[in-house]
Amino acid sequence: MVDQIKQVVINSPLDMHLHFREGRMAQTVIPLSSYSFAGGVVMPNLVPAVNNLKRLTGYIQEIKSIIDKDIFEPYMTVFFKHYSYQELEQLKPYILGVKLYPAGVTTNSEEGVAAINKAETTIKYLEELEIPLMIHGETHGFVLDREKMFLPIFEHLAQTFPRLKIIMEHITTADAVSLLNEYENIYATVTLHHLLITLDDVAGGLLRPHLFCKPIAKRPEDREALVKAAINAHPKLMFGSDSAPHPLDKKEACGCAAGIFTAPIALQALVDLFEQHNALHNLQAFVSDNAQSIYRIIPPQKSVTLERIPDKVPNMYDDVVPMFANQELSWSITQVK
Ligand code: DOR
Ligand code: ZN
């Protein structure tokens, strides 16, 4: 019997897709990411959206004041709209990319894009300015098919804008994984929850509102394809939690908001998953190195140690219920430096 690994050290872990919100919610959730991660990509779907320089710089200030002394780089995004070339030039020094939401597909996306072909002038500017385009890739079709139905749009964009970096955000299907190998300029993030759950966990027994998210979790074979790509550290795949906090009364409601709050447990659960697949040697690439090469970023130096010490997840952070609330995780974060 081989000795069990007792300790894992991750250098500068990055969360390449997360929701910080603003105001009181931001005060609750930001420290939970800035404690254990070295950086993260901050989504712009606030009300009003983060879609101009003034709103962006105000939001950066708020985030930085909450991060305070933690070592954490907020990689910012702006909400896709019809930007002029000049506006994008001004935004470029402050952002890692522009996030495109099809109108109405998820939380606060009403101001999103109604028709991709009408967005192509701005997309051309992004290509010229070398600003990555991050996309929530879902249509308004049948819920289990929405991502698959969107894939031809990714292909069209990849062909039309060959020098544009396109990131398929939070992929959930085997088909999306396959697309990574077909187009040089297509990359992806994947969440923790889509590596762990299927639709059965959400709605197969009693309905689990805290596991309800967009895109909805899919079939076992989809989850398997995502896990395989993640544990093999597919070089075009990055970890992005899509940690999306909503207050309890918006989750345990008739009309449950989409989003799973994973920020405080993400690293611990990833270590567990990679260990179960004997893939701990690939965790560093999945949770940091791949993102560094894809976006050409150098995150702040931060070393995070996890040890095999059981830890009970709180049932709430303020009024937000995290994934694995009240359950015990096998790994704890024991040192951050
Ligand atoms: O589940 C989700 N929640 N998916 C998204 O695309 C948005 C997010 C949110 O902002 O709550
Ligand atoms: Zn998101």
Q: What are the pLDDT digits (tens) for 262-302?
A: 999 999 999 999 999 999 999 999 999 999 999 999 999 99
Please give the Cα distance from 194 to 100 (Å, whole number): 21
**What confidence category does residue 151 fall into, taking pLDDT thresholds of 50, 70 and 90?**
very high
Residue ranges near ligand 2 (ion) with Cβ within 5 Å: 242
Look over the chain and give the mean of its residue pLDDT values, rounded to a whole number.
97
314 within domain boundaries: no
List, in order, residues 6 or more apart from 204 with CB less than 8 Å away. 198
Comparing 27-31, 111-115, 123-127, 172-176, the range with the smallest average pLDDT is 111-115
pLDDT tops 80 at residue 22: yes
308 within domain boundaries: no
- The answer to whether 267 touches 13, Cβ cutoff 8 Å, is yes
Q: Both ends of the chain: CA-CA distance in Å?
A: 33
Collapsing DSSP to helix, strand or coil, 304 comes out as strand
State in Å: Cα 161 to ligand 1 middle.
Answer: 27
138 within domain boundaries: yes
Q: Specify the pTM.
A: 0.98
Q: Where are the beta strands (DSSP E) in the chain?
A: 7-11, 14-18, 39-42, 73-79, 95-100, 133-135, 166-168, 186-190, 237-239, 303-307, 311-312, 328-329, 332-336
**What confidence category does residue 1 fall into, taking pLDDT thresholds of 50, 70 and 90?**
low
pLDDT tops 70 at residue 218: yes
176 within domain boundaries: yes
Number of DSSP helices (H) and strands (E) in the chain, helices first: 13, 13
8 within domain boundaries: no
135 within domain boundaries: yes
Mean pLDDT computed over 174-179: 98
Give nearest CA residue, ligand 1 atom 4. 214
Please give the Cα distance from 100 to 112 (Å, whole number): 7
Mean pLDDT computed over 63-69: 97
Closest atom of ligand 1 to 259 CA is: 1
pLDDT number for residue 242: 98
Of 46, 79, 213, the one to substitute when testing ligand 1's pocket (max ligand atoms within 8 A of C-beta) is: 213
CATH value at residue 176: 3.20.20.140
**What confidence category does residue 2 fall into, taking pLDDT thresholds of 50, 70 and 90?**
low
pLDDT tops 90 at residue 202: yes
The total number of structural domains that make up the chain: 1
133 within domain boundaries: yes
Enumerate residues lining ligand 1, CB below 6 A: 19, 45, 106-107, 136, 213-214, 242, 244, 258-259
pLDDT tops 90 at residue 4: no
pLDDT number for residue 320: 98
Domain carrying residue 222: 13-302
Please give the Cα distance from 316 to 10 (Å, whole number): 26
Q: What percent of the chain has pLDDT over 90?
A: 97
Please give the Cα distance from 288 to 101 (Å, whole number): 25
List, in order, residues 6 or more apart from 86 with CB less than 8 Å away. none
Ligand nearest to the CA of 169: 2
242 within domain boundaries: yes
Among left, alpha and beta (phi > 0; psi -120 to 50; other), residue 108 is left
